[in-house]
């Protein structure tokens, strides 16, 4: 008998408790933790988004009750959402964010698939060592990695990327001062941060592809590209799609890269939506607007993930 079953039997032995009640009591600790650290903050954020909260009024009064009731902040209904949705900067951030998601995920999938094919090839020796080196970036703090990449893309002559350009006879580039050069720097750094996770998923998927299919295709005269297109890709499609959805959500919520590089510049041109919400809430001290931006972002990323899971049929068989 499992530990959970024994615990349920003990609880059920208490008078007035049925087995259903016992099962509910067993999940209460998890529900409490979820509510305290996930559900309550989201609901509190939703409440703030309907007020004119700012530092002067949100924390007015004394005690926890004053904070939970939003202090002296006034209910303004949908005013914050109307202001945000009519703000040109919001739509710029919204568009740049989705463009960043599209380009960074494409780059991550392409690079990860190429690396995974190399480290699973029979022609490569020392694959275990290579796989260990590939996941090494996962052990580094993201802020450390991003700071290093900021130095690599430094606009100064001593920046590593500019030194490479100079070595090949090209002129140096002010990477973080131009909109699209900074956007490229964001993408490269995001790909470096996420590729270990993508490679792990892709390698696992590649190892599950039946070798007999490749052998039969070779006998039929299929080349590498034909086998890749008709055997490898269909076999690894679902795991790679699942990993892509997860890393898309991470890209949508990316904050550290644009903020550390140039705070979403130049002139807020590359301000991703999370940076935009942060700036409105903390730089301009408009907590209500910042909360509304966060809720809008949450709705869009939730809808994006649900649509991809549904269209990709990733939940098939869950209720079987």
Model pLDDT for residues 112-134, shown as the tens digit of each residue: 999 888 888 877 787 778 777 88
Band of pLDDT at residue 290, cut at 50, 70 and 90:
very high
Predicted confidence at residue 291, as pLDDT, reads 92
d(CA 29, CA 32): 5
Q: So what's the pLDDT on residue 80?
A: 92
Nearest of 33, 30, 27 to residue 11 by alpha carbon: 27
What pLDDT, on the 0 to 100 scale, is given for residue 239? 87
Q: What is the pLDDT of residue 57?
A: 82
Q: What is the pTM of this model?
A: 0.83
Phi-psi region of 209 (alpha: psi -120 to 50; beta: other; left: phi over 0): beta
Give pLDDT, residue 11: 46
What is the structure's pLDDT at 257?
94
- Give the pLDDT of residue 318: 45
Mean pLDDT of 140-161: 90
Q: What does the pLDDT average to over 54-83?
A: 80
pLDDT tens per residue, range 69-107: 777 888 898 999 999 999 999 999 999 999 999 999 999
Query: Which residue in 97, 44, 77 sits closest to 269, CA to CA?
Result: 97
Plot region of 62 (φ>0 → left; ψ -120 to 50 → alpha; else → beta): beta
Q: Residues, the chain, total? A: 320
Lowest mean pLDDT among 14-18, 205-209, 253-257, 268-272: 14-18
User: What pLDDT score was predicted for residue 13?
Assistant: 53
Return mean pLDDT, the chain.
83
Quick: pLDDT tens for 14-35: 554 555 556 667 777 777 777 7
Q: What structural domains and CATH numbers belong to the chain?
A: 20-77 (no CATH), 87-285 (1.10.3720.10)
pLDDT at 3 over 80: no
CA atoms within 13 A on the CB side of 53: 26
Q: Are 258 and 264 in contact (CB under 8 A)?
A: yes
Q: What is the pLDDT of residue 242?
A: 86
Count other C-beta atoms under 10 Å from residue 261's C-beta: 21
pLDDT at 206 over 60: yes
Q: What pLDDT is attached to residue 2?
A: 55
């Amino acid at each position: 008998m499992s530990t959970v079953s024994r615990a349920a039997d003990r609880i059920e032995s208490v008078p007035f408790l049925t087995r259903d009640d016992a099962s509910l009591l067993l999940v209460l600790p998890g529900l409490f933790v979820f509510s305290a650290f996930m559900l309550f903050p989201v609901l509190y954020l939703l409440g703030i988004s309907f007020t004119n909260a700012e530092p002067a009024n949100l924390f007015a009064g004394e005690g926890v009750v004053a904070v939970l009731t939003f202090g002296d902040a006034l209910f303004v209904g949908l005013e914050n959402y109307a202001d945000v949705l009519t703000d040109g900067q919001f739509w710029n951030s919204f568009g740049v964010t989705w463009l960043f998601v599209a380009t960074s995920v494409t780059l991550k999938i392409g690079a990860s698939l190429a690396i995974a094919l190399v480290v699973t090839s029979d022609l490569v020796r020392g694959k275990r060592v290579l796989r260990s080196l590939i996941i090494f970036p996962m052990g580094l703090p993201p802020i450390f990695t991003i700071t290093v990449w900021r130095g690599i893309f430094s606009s100064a002559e001593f920046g590593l990327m500019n030194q490479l350009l100079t070595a090949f006879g090209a002129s140096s580039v002010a990477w973080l001062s131009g909109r699209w050069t900074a956007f490229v720097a964001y993408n490269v750094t995001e790909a470096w941060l996420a590729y270990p996770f993508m490679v792990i998923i892709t390698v696992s998927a590649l190892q599950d592809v039946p070798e007999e299919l490749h052998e039969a295709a070779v006998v039929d005269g299929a080349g590498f590209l034909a086998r890749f297109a008709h055997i490898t890709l269909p076999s690894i499609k679902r795991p790679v799609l699942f990993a892509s959805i997860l890393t898309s959500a991470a890209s949508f919520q990316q904050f550290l890269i644009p903020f550390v590089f140039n705070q979403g510049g130049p002139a807020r041109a590359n301000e991703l939506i999370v940076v935009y919400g942060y700036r409105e809430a903390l730089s301009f001290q408009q907590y209500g607007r910042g909360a509304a931006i966060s809720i809008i972002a949450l709705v869009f990323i939730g809808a994006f993930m649900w649509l991809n899971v549904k269209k990709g049929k990733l939940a098939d068989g869950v209720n079987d």
